[in-house]
Amino acid sequence: MDKKLLESLYYKYYKEIVLYLYSLSRSRELAEDLAQETFLKAILSLPKKQSNLRAWLYAVARNLFYNDYKKQKRVTYMDELPESADPQQGDLLSEILRGERDRLLYDAMLQLDVRKREILMMHYFSGMPMKEIAAVLKLTTENVKVLACRGKREIRNYMEAHGYDIS
């Protein structure tokens, strides 16, 4: 792989890959480690005819996370937030997301099932189009759109239940 291409990919996508992996793992250290491994894998095995490098990086990151999860059987996996976890203790998203409404929105995202959360994280935090998300998750574009719509509805209901008017 061309060193300049890898370098540009790294600077362009590293933060969003870490954020995506953090949304899955809820561990800053694991997210950063897996992001590094994602780019290492890019150095070693980028397909020659890969047209969408961003989607490929997300797919690699996702596969690395699930492989690691299977090996480690991590307790802090997606739908299980440990009671001791405090978003005010300087974790990655607390540094990124400021303000009560953003934290509430993040809490609403955590309430979603894994697939909906992944779709919305990729779409809103990484700006990926639905077609790319469908390629990463190996779903149809229509299925991704339906899941995104349902996820947004669940977030809206959560926010409204906590006193925010989302009109």
pLDDT tens-place string over residues 75-127: 444 444 444 344 444 555 555 545 677 778 878 888 899 899 999 988 888 88
d(CA 118, CA 141): 14
**What would the pLDDT profile of 27-53 be if each residue is shown by its tens digit?**
899 999 999 999 888 777 766 666 778
d(CA 143, CA 99): 32
Backbone φ, ψ for residue 82 (5° rounding)? -60, 145
Q: What is the pLDDT of residue 75?
A: 46
Residue type, 75: V
- Report the pLDDT averaged over residues 153-164: 87
**What would the pLDDT profile of 114-148 be if each residue is shown by its tens digit?**
899 999 988 888 888 999 999 999 999 999 999 99
What is the CA 76 to chain-centroid distance, rounded?
A: 15
d(CA 151, CA 120): 7
Residue type, 166: I
